Structure 1
Amino acid sequence: MTQPPHDEPTAQSPEELREQVEHTRRELGETVEALAAKTDVKARAQEKATQAREQAASMAGQAREQAASVAGQAKAKAAEVAQQVQEKLPEPVRDKAAQAASQAGRMWHEKAPEPVREKAARSAKAAGDNRALLLAGAGAGVVFLWLALRRRDH
């Protein structure tokens, strides 16, 4: 018979010996399973790929949330700026801008071909859907018109 390891006591009875053998078999089985798992490169690669996909999906979700938040803040700021610009414009400038817009609209309707008017209508609907940006652009246009008229009057 072989010598037992130095850290394990020798069995006193056949029953103890059977228990030690069974315990050693379980440990050996667990060790073999662990080694087999480490050598299964395909399974480990799939596990890593799954982790990477989950992490990428999580990061993409966070990026979408952050982009939506920033877009919302930008729209709010644009609406605020447009409102401030409109409040600061003198009444005559607002009236002239409204008249110019009305006259341009009439000329457009009279001279533009039907397909172009249809496309413009679709664009106007899209602009209505993005109203804050449109207001900011209109406010900037009104300021530009006011500056141009003011320069011409001087």
Structure 2
Amino acid sequence: MNDESVNKMGTPTPEELREQVQRTRDGLGRTAGAPPTAGADIRTQVKERAAAVREQASEKAASASGLMRGTTEQAARLVKDRTPDAVLEKTAEAAAQVREGAVRAGRYAADRTPDPVLDRAGRAASAARAHRVPLLAGGALFAVLLLVRRGRGRKQ
């Protein structure tokens, strides 16, 4: 067996081996010459990556929220355009009656609810207002997951 037949079978030639060794030495030289903290500060890298992921998730949530808002507005316009005026008037009257009933029920509940419960409910409402975007994004994600799951159940 000569050198050429061995080389055709996939083994490297001596020259190829020398080039590979030289490339490896060059790479090791660059790694050894790098500053000692270049790869050592993993905590900072993790924090940077987490911030990037958080920002990306925030952008996606805002995009999904805007898309949902636009779709909802379009659907509302379509429904309103196709609904007869008489039905719209009756609906407005019914909505006014429901609002009045809700206000009365709210006053009644507020009068009868103990102060500690009202205080906790107020704090919970404030927290929800302060974190509105993540709550809306989470709710939207939950709704999408339910719809996907429901759609898969019908296909089977």
TM band (smaller chain): 0.3 to 0.5
The higher-RCO structure (CA 8 Å, 6+ apart) is: 2
TM-score (norm 2): 0.41
TM-score by length of 1: 0.42
Q: Highest Rg: 1 or 2?
A: 1
